[in-house]
Amino acid sequence: MRIALITLTCMICSAATLFSQTTIKGKVYDSISKEGLIGAAVIIEGTTIGVTTDIDGGFTINTDRELPIRLQVSYISYRTRYVEATSSNSSDLRITLQTDAVVMDAVEVKAQRISQKQQQAALTVESMDVLAIKEAASGNFYESLGNLKEVDVTSASLGFKVINTRGFNSTSPVRSLQLIDGVDNQSPGLNFSLGNFLGASDLDVKNVEIVAGASSAFFGPGAFNGVVNMTTKDPYSFPGVSVEVKAGERALFQRVVRLADYTTNEAGEKKFGYKLNWFYMEADDWEADNLDPIDGSEFNADNPFGYDAVNVYGDEDVSFNNDNSDNLLPSNFNGRPGLTKWLRNGYKESDLVNYDTDNTKFGAGLFYKFNPKITANYGFNYSTGNTIYQGDNRYALRGVEFYQHKIEIGEPDKWFIRAYRTSENAGQTYDAVTTALRIQEAQMDNGTWNTNFLTFWSQNIVPFLENNENAESVFQNFYNTGLVPYRPDTSVVNSIFFEALAQGFSDPDSSVAFYNNLMLDLIASEPALFDSLFQTNVDITNSLSDEFTPAYFEPGTARFDSIFNDITGRTFAEGGSRFYDRSALNHVQGEYKFDWKDINFTLGANARWYRPDSRGTIFSDTLSYTYARDSL
C-alpha cells in the first residue's frame, strides 16, 4: 500500500512538472512621464514568443520555460531594453524605456488616413482612438462623438443616440451608414442605423472614424449623409479581462465586461482566439412633459377652449365640426353663445409610456489564424431592451430584439470574403400617438364627440350664460362646488345683444358682426370663466355612458389599463398600435486588391437580400399578387 502511494505521488509530481507553465506579468512605462506605453513589444529573447502591451502598458506572458527568462522590450522611438525575469520579480515587472533621440535633418511627414483619390474629394474624416474612447466622460463613447467637428449626436432617449453629420440633422438618418467591422449596423425593418442600441461596448471599440458629408462614391448609396466606421478589438492584440462600471444622474447604472484570450502553437504562433462581451445599462429616461403649443399652432396656451400641446396626443385639430365661431347669437336666434373653436382633450405621453430604459447586449467572437496573414472569424451579437424612439411619432420600444451573425475570412489590406445576417423582433413595440387616438376612438370618434359636446353646451352652458331658470338645476351646483368661478347676476348674452341693437345699425349683418365682436371681447376678458365652462362641458361629454358609448377612459384606472393593454397588444392591421416586425437582411461581399504595372486595382462584389416580415405594420408585405402568366 505504501509503495502504491509513493508511486502515485511520483506520477502526480511528474504530471505537474510536465504541464506546469511560467507566467510573467508586468508593465512598461515611459521613463519620464511614467505613463504606460500601449503596443510595446515584449518577447522572450531568441524566440518569437511574446505579446504587446495593453492600453495601460500591461502584459502577461505564459510559457513552459523555466525562470530565469531574458525578455526583450521594444517600442517605436524608444531604446530597446533587455530585462531578466526571475522568481522574485516575474509577477510584477516594472520596465521603463527611454526615448531614442537621433539628430537628423528636418523631415516632413504626411499621414494618409485615406487614399489619394479620397483626399481629392470633399471628405472630412474625424476619429476617436482607443485612448479617447477610454477617457470619454459621458455615459458611453457614442455620446462623445458629438464633440468631433461637423458631428451632431441627437438623443431620442437615454438608450437611443443618433449620429448626424454636416447639417443632416434627423432622428431617422436613413441615408447615414454605420459600419462595425465592415458590417452594416442598420435595422432591416426600419432601414436605418439604431445608434448604439445594437453595437459595440466601450471596452471593445478600438477606434471610430466618421466621414462627414456625402460619401456615396466610396461607400455606396446608403452613405449620402456620412459614414460611422467602427473597428473593434481583436483578441490577439487585446487579450485579458476588462470590467467597467458607470453611474450617473437619472439612476444611470452601466456595467460592462470584456473577456478575450488566444492560444499559440509549439512555434509560438497565435492560432485560436476568442472574445466575449456583455453590456447592461439601466436608467430613468427623460420624461416628455412639454405642454407648450406645437410650432405653428392656431391657439396659444391661454385659449380657454383647448390647444394642441407638444406631448399631448389626441388634442389635434383634425375635425370638421368643432367650430362655432359663426354662431354666437343668443339661443332665441338658434345660436350658441360663448363658444368659438374647440379641441378635444387628449392623453399626456406620460400616461402612455413607461420611461424605464434598459439595454442588454451580448457579443461573442471566434478567431482562427491559418497563418500569420490569413484569419477567419465568426461573430455573434445580440441586443434587447426598452427605450423611446423619436421618429414621425413617438415609439415605445418594448422587448425589441436584434440578432446578428457574421462569418469572414481574409488577409488584411489584400482580400476578404464576408457574409452576415441581421434579424429583428419588434417585441411589444407600439406607437404612443396612435395608442392615444385608438383609446379615444374606443370611447367615440371625433365627429360624434364634437356633436355631443355642442349639444351639451346648448343644454347647459348657454342657459348659464343667458341666466335662464333652466340653468339652476345644473349650474347652481357647479357654482356652489367651485367648478366655475362665479355666476353672472344678469343675463350676459342678452345684455351684449341689446347693446348691439342700441347702436342703431340699419344693416342686420353689421349688427351681428358688432355683437360677435362684443362676445369675443367677453371671452378674451374672462379666460378663467370660459376655461371652467369648457372643462365642465368636457367632463359632461366624457361622462356620457350607455350601451353604445363607454365613458372616458381615465388614466390610472383599471378601465384605462384594460383598454391600453388591448390596443397595444394588437397590430395596426388589427386596429391596434403595436408593431409586428421580424424582418431580416442577408449580405455577402468580397474584395481583392492587386497591382499591375504600377497600377492599383480593387475588385469587389456584393449582394443583399431583404426579407420583410411586418404583417403590414411597416411594409405592404401582406398583399397577394396574380402574375400575368398565372392567369393565362
For 396-406, how does the pLDDT look when each residue is reduced to its tens digit (9 = 90+)? 989 999 999 99
Phi-psi sector, 347: left (phi>0), alpha (psi -120 to 50), beta: beta
Please tell me the predicted confidence (pLDDT) of residue 22: 83
- Per domain, the residue ranges of the chain are 2-97, 122-285+355-431, 312-350+444-551
Cβ count near 428 (within 10 Å): 15
What lies within 8 Å, CB to CB, of 390 at 6+ separation is 156, 157, 160, 171
In this predicted model, what pLDDT tens digit does every residue of 106-120 receive, in sequence order? 444 444 444 544 444
Model pTM?
0.72
Cell output for 126: 474625424
- Residue 175 Cα distances to 190, 375, 391, 542, angstroms: 12, 32, 15, 45
Residue 441 contacts residue 552 (beta carbons within 8 Å):
no
Judge whether 2-97 and 122-285+355-431 match in fold.
no
* Lateral strand order in the sheet of 58-63: 58-63, 22-30, 93-97
Query: Which CATH code for domain 122-285+355-431?
Result: 2.170.130.10
Q: What is the CATH architecture assignment of 2-97? A: Sandwich (2.60)
Q: What is the mean pLDDT of each successive set of 10 residues along the chain, which is 632 residues long?
A: 43 45 88 86 86 89 87 88 86 86 48 46 63 62 70 72 66 70 83 69 84 62 72 91 89 92 90 95 90 91 93 90 88 85 94 93 95 94 89 86 95 93 93 94 93 92 71 52 53 65 62 80 86 92 85 94 96 90 93 89 91 80 47 40
> What value does the CA radius of gyration of the chain take, rounded to a whole number of Å?
36
Task: Output the DSSP codes for 278-302.
Answer: EEEEEEEPPP----SBPTT-SS-TT
Helix (H, G, I), strand (E, B) or coil at 8: helix
The 3-state DSSP composition of the chain as helix, strand, coil percent (nearest 5) reads 25, 35, 40
Measured CA to CA, the distance from residue 222 to residue 215 in angstroms comes to: 9
| Of residues 288, 344, 291, 293, the one with CA closest to residue 315 | 344
Query: 397: closest CA among 406, 409, 386, 408?
Result: 386
Instruction: Estimate the crossing angle of helix 527-542 against helix 446-456, to 10 degrees.
Output: 120
